Amino acid sequence: MVSYARPSSASIRDANLYVSGLPKTMTQKELEQLFSQYGRIITSRILVDQVTGISRGVGFIRFDKRIEAEEAIKGLNGQKPPGATEPITVKFANNPSQKTNQAILSQLYQSPNRRYPGPLAQQAQRFRLDNLLNMAYGVKSRFSPMTIDGMTSLAGINIPGHPGTGWCIFVYNLAPDADESILWQMFGPFGAVTNVKVIRDFNTNKCKGFGFVTMTNYDEAAMAIASLNGYRLGDRVLQVSFKTNKTHKA
């Protein structure tokens, strides 16, 4: 079976949808069934966690025609799929490419370590020394909550902040102009940081006041939280904690 090139015309351009808020149990087939009422689906995908294989609750649907995608947005955005408890978000997908490179560049050039001489780096140094002592001599101190280690191997589905590939940290009270580099700079000194994200308003591109940081090791994440929660960044006091699932309530 060869795959034929599809004609590139305005009618089929930008017919690709990004879907979020999907039930974790929804399969690709079920996703297609949901959207197929609006037109011919060319491709579909559900993104999964690389470690656990569990759905990340987001996916893509590419329709044959733009008008089909538009109708699907009208019909499904903000709606609950059959059996779902939460509504899904359906919007046109961003163009791939441009955005991921920004994070990589940030990672390469910001050099998370050694940018923060001062109290934070000193605490991080203190903690690393503490870890070395622990490994070398079995010394266990308040900085090394090794009791959690038994949990880290359990795929951690129900452990707050743990998505399977690291420990996800919620950072609140970032300034509107905050960007990813500040997160690398703040958290990098505490250990291995695999991902940072500033959540922005789609229209204004201003930070919505919060972001996320993923760290590989529990003890380093815990140290970063203990050190950075309440930290004054500019004229704001940050709130830093492991990420939870539920939306903030009262």
Residue the block writes with tokens 């090139």 = 5
Task: Return all residues near 18 (Cβ < 8 A) that are at least 6 apart.
Answer: 58, 59, 60, 90, 91, 92, 93, 94
Q: Is 223 helix (H, G, I), strand (E, B) or coil?
A: helix
Q: Give the nearer residue to DNA in terms of CB position, either 39 or 130.
A: 39
Determine, following the binding rule CB under 7 A, whether residue 231 of this chain makes contact with DNA. Answer: no
Determine, following the binding rule CB under 7 A, whether residue 172 of this chain makes contact with DNA. Answer: yes
Min separation Cβ 161 and DNA, Å: 8
Determine, following the binding rule CB under 7 A, whether residue 212 of this chain makes contact with DNA. Answer: yes
How far the first Cα of the chain sits from its last, in Å, is: 57
d(CA 196, CA 205): 16
Determine, following the binding rule CB under 7 A, whether residue 236 of this chain makes contact with DNA. Answer: no
Query: For residues 128 and 143, is the Cβ–Cβ distance under 8 A?
Result: no
Min separation Cβ 142 and DNA, Å: 24
Determine, following the binding rule CB under 7 A, whether residue 58 of this chain makes contact with DNA. Answer: yes
Q: Give the nearer residue to DNA in terms of CB position, either 28 or 241.
A: 241
Footprint (CB under 7 A) of DNA, residues 83-122: 91, 93-94, 96, 99-100
d(CA 87, CA 21): 7
Q: How far is CA 163 from the centre of its chain?
A: 9
**Which residues of this protein are in contact with DNA, per CB under 7 A?**
16, 18, 20, 43, 45, 47, 56-58, 60, 62, 91, 93-94, 96, 99-100, 163, 168, 170, 172-173, 176, 195, 197, 199, 201, 204, 206-210, 212, 214, 239, 241, 243-245, 247-248
